[in-house]
Chains A and B, each alone.
Chain A
Amino acid sequence: MDQSFQIADEEVNGVPVVSATGEIDVATAPPLRDRLQALATSGKSTVVVNLLGVTFLDSTALGVLVGALKRCRESGGDLPLVITEPRILKVFEITGLTGVFPIYASVDDAVRSVA
């Protein structure tokens, strides 16, 4: 596993925020999927995913996020993303997912949108 990949959890104004850093690929996406699934299982229908520290993201990571978004929306919640890095935004743009996820430039903006 990429040693630089990390996941951190916090709550901001009562909203769970999962922050990922490093490269999210076929090797590192499973821990992110597990973390998001655990939050859904514990009844959190809305989770902010902070990708500000992510330097690489592939289709496996997109699949994890799409799956989590589906679970959140089925529970009446949402999965706002926080992205500013153009390389990461580009991956969402070319796959047509910028129209699917709510995307914000800061954690505060994302939390405000759902709080």
Chain B
Amino acid sequence: MSTAGGQTATLAVDLSIPVQADLVVLARLTAATVAGRAGFGVEDIEDLRLAVEELCLSLVGGAKDGRLHLTYECEGDAITVACRYEDAGTPAGPPGQGADDLSLRILDALVDEHGRQIRDGHPSAWLCKRRSDQPA
């Protein structure tokens, strides 16, 4: 995000939601809000909205319980979204569990980088999208 003095500020937002189909919309709404505040254009915002949805889906698969913890960080011309899935007691699966081919193809196409890992024993995924030159 640019400040009046031309400096680059960091914007960080945390979101924690239950794994519930009708609440995943909150993850993409937050992504759109953060991207809008950071001056991303409409196309970039739409790309990020879908990418964050796929990031969440790739982690939870068909799970119907547990929580998703998301962190949105905007620094310079990039937004990084990290997502961690905490299940409701069953052991964590390997990174990328539940990720299907369509989700991965969408992420490959829409963001600059993305990846998966086990973090603190929980399946986690992240993405990074840089602002393109289109007008905001």
Contact = CB atoms under 8 A, between A and B. Distances in A.
Chain B at the A interface: SS class: helix
Interface in B90-109: 100, 102-103, 105-106, 108-109
Contact of A2 (B25, B46, B106, B109): B25
Interface residues of B, number: 18
Contact of A59 (B21, B22, B103, B108): B103
Contacts of A94: 105-106, 108-110
B116 interface: no
A23 B126 CA distance: 24
Interface in B78-126: 100, 102-103, 105-106, 108-110
Contacts of A115: none
B25 A25 contact: yes
Interface residues of A, number: 17
A59 B102 contact: yes
Contact of A58 (B46, B53, B109): B53
B100 A27 contact: no
A95 B105 contact: yes
Contacts of B106: 58-59, 91, 94-95
Nearest to A87: B46
Contacts of A2: 22, 25
A27 B22 contact: yes
A62 interface: yes
Given A94-B105, A94-B110, A95-B105, A59 B100 contact: yes
Contact of A96 (B21, B50, B100, B105): B105
B102 A95 contact: yes
Contact of A56 (B49, B57, B100): B49
A31 to B, nearest CB: 11
Contacts of B108: 94
B108 to A, nearest CB: 8
Interface of A: 1-2, 23, 25-27, 56, 58-60, 62-63, 87, 91, 94-96
Given A60-B57, A63-B102, 16 more contacts: A1-B22, A26-B53, A26-B57, A27-B21, A27-B24, A58-B50, A58-B53, A58-B106, A59-B100, A59-B102, A59-B103, A62-B102, A63-B100, A91-B50, A94-B109, A95-B106
